[in-house]
Amino acid sequence: MTVSFVTLVQNTCSPRSEDNSGSLKEEKPSASLKLLWSLNDCFECRKWCGKTVIPKMANLPPSSLRLLRPAFYSTGMDCFGPFPVKIGRRNKKRWGIVFKCLTTRAVHIDLLLSIDTDSFLMSLHWFIARRGKPHELLSDYGTNFRGGNTELQKAFNALHPSLQDQLSAQRIHFRYNPSNAPHFGGSWEREVR
Can you give the residue ranges of every domain in the chain?
Answer: 62-189
In this prediction, residue 28 has a pLDDT band, given cuts at 50, 70 and 90, of low
Average pLDDT over residues 45-60: 79
Average pLDDT over residues 149-163: 89
Average pLDDT over residues 31-59: 74
- For the cut 80, the answer to whether the pLDDT of residue 134 exceeds it is yes
- Burial of 9: CB neighbours in 10 Å, binned 0-12, 13-18, 19+: middle
pLDDT at 121: 92
Is the distance from CB of 175 to CB of 136 less than 8 angstroms? yes
User: Which tens digits make up the pLDDT trace of 84-123?
Assistant: 999 999 999 999 999 999 999 999 999 999 999 999 999 9
Selected residue with higher pLDDT from 95 and 59: 95
Q: Which alpha helices (DSSP H) does the chain contain, by range?
A: 2-13, 31-41, 43-49, 117-131, 143-157, 161-167, 186-189
pLDDT at 12: 52
Is the distance from CB of 101 to CB of 72 less than 8 angstroms? yes
| 62-189 fold | Nucleotidyltransferase; domain 5 (3.30.420)
Distances from the Cα of 30 to the Cα of 1, 11, 22, 27, 36, angstroms: 13, 20, 21, 10, 10
pTM above 0.75, yes or no: no
> What is the distance, to the nearest Å, from the Cα of residue 4 to the centroid of all Cα atoms in its chain?
51
List CB contacts of 152: < 8 A, sequence separation 6 or more. 121, 172
